[in-house]
Amino acid sequence: MMKRTYSFLTKDVSTLHKRATGLHTEMIAKGKNWFGAALTIRNPVDAQERAIVDNYADFGSITPENAMKWESTEPSRGVFTFDGADAIRDYAATQKKQIHCHNLVWHSQLPLWVSQGKFDNATLISIMYDHIKAVAGRYKGSCTRWDVVNEALNEDGTYRSSVFYDTIGESFIPLAFKFASEIDPNAKLYYNDYNLEYNNAKTDAAARIVALVKSHGVKIQGVGFQAHLTSESTPTSAAVTPDQGVLEAALKKMTVQGVNVAYTELDVRMNTPVTPAKQAAQAEAYARVVRSCMAVEKCEGITIWGITDKYSWIPGVFIGEGSALVWDENYKPKPAYFAMLKAIQESPLAPRYYYQINDQVRDRYVRI
C-alpha cells in the first residue's frame, strides 16, 4: 500500500484562504450583499496579501483605501489623475468584485487648493460639482456604492467645521448627493462616518442627515458605520465596542427611515502588544459587530479596513495601539476570522429583495 502523507497537517496557514466557504459567500447565503475589504494596490504587489484579498469566498467587495480620494484624483484644480483609481477598477473587474467607491466630499485628504482656496459659495459648489462629475462619471457603472459625503459631523452631533460646511452650509450635503445621483444614478449613495456605533448624539445627527437629504427630494440610500472600534479601553477611546443591542439600536435609527446601513471600515484595535486573551476579546468584538448586522434586515454588508496588520493604518494614527485587523503581520488569520465566520453562519436567513448590479459582478442580484 502506498504510504500517504497528510499534507494538511503541515500546511502553511496562508493556504487557508483557499477554502471555498468564506465570509462573503456566507453573507450572500444569508441574504446579505457583501463582505469586503479595503484595498491598497502596492508596488510591487504583496503576493501573500493579494492571495487573501483575491479569494472570492471571503471578499466580494473592495473599497479603495486611498485611491479615489480628492487628493489622489484632483490634486490641482481641473487636473485629474486616475491611474490609482483605474487600477482599483480594473482589479475589481478582473476579480468580479463589487466596488464600494470612497469618497467624493470629505474635509480630509483634500488638497490645499480646495481647503484654502477661499472660494465663494457659488464657486465652491461648482468645484464640488466638477469633481463629482469627473470622478463619479469616470467610474459610472463600476461603483456598486459611493460614499458621497464622509465625516461631516462632530462627536456632539454638530456639523464639523470644514471648507464645505463653512462656505456652503449644511446644504453642501444634499447638493453632493444630488450631483452624485445625477451623474451615477445606479450607484447606491451612502453617507459615511465614524463613532456612529454608540447610539448617541452623533448617531442621531447622522439620522438627521438622512432626513435632511430626503427633505430636499434627493436620493440617499445608505449610512456607512465606519466602525473603527476597540476591544479594550485605550488612550484614544474609553468606550469599547458596544453590546449587540446598542449596535442594533444605532443601525435601526437609520433603517427606520428606509435607508440601508453597512459597516464600511471595520477594525478593532487594542493597546499593543497583543496577547492571546486580547485576541479572544477582539474576536468577540468582531463577532458582536457581525451579529448586529445579521440581526438588522437592512444592514446589507460589512467591509474590514484592510487585510493584514502589516499595513493597517492604526499604529500610525493611534500611537501605542494596533493589532486591529483580522490577519496578523505574518498573514495568519486570527480568532476574529473564525468568530466572524461562525457569527454569519449561525445567524438567521434574511429576506431577500433583489436588485441588479453591475454586469461584471458575479453576485448579479443583491438585496435592496
For binding to ligand XIL (CB under 6 A), which residues are involved? 65-66, 150, 226, 265, 313
Active site residue 74: no
Indicate if the alpha-carbon torsion angle 274, 280, 285, 286 is positive or negative.
positive
Q: How far apart are CA 358 and CA 144, in angstroms?
A: 7
The DSSP 8-state label assigned to residue 348 in this structure reads P
CB of 130 to ligand XIL, least distance (A): 22
- Kindly give the interhelix angle for 244-255 and 276-295, rounded to the nearest 10 degrees: 30
CB of 315 to ligand XIL, least distance (A): 11
Residue (65 or 184) nearer to ligand XIL, CB: 65
Q: How far apart are CA 129 and CA 124, in angstroms?
A: 8
CB of 66 to ligand XIL, least distance (A): 5
Catalytic entry in 151, 197, 248, 300:
151
Indicate left, alpha or beta for 199 from its phi (over 0: left) and psi (-120 to 50: alpha): left
Residue (150 or 347) nearer to ligand XIL, CB: 150
Catalytic entry in 197, 265, 300, 321:
265
Rg (CA), the chain: 20
CB of 32 to ligand XIL, least distance (A): 22
Cis peptide, bond prior to residue 273, ω within 30 of zero: yes
Q: What angle do CA 248, 100, 238 make, to 5 degrees?
A: 45
Residue (120 or 155) nearer to ligand XIL, CB: 155
Active site residue 284: no
Residue (102 or 367) nearer to ligand XIL, CB: 102
As annotated, the active-site residues are: 151, 265
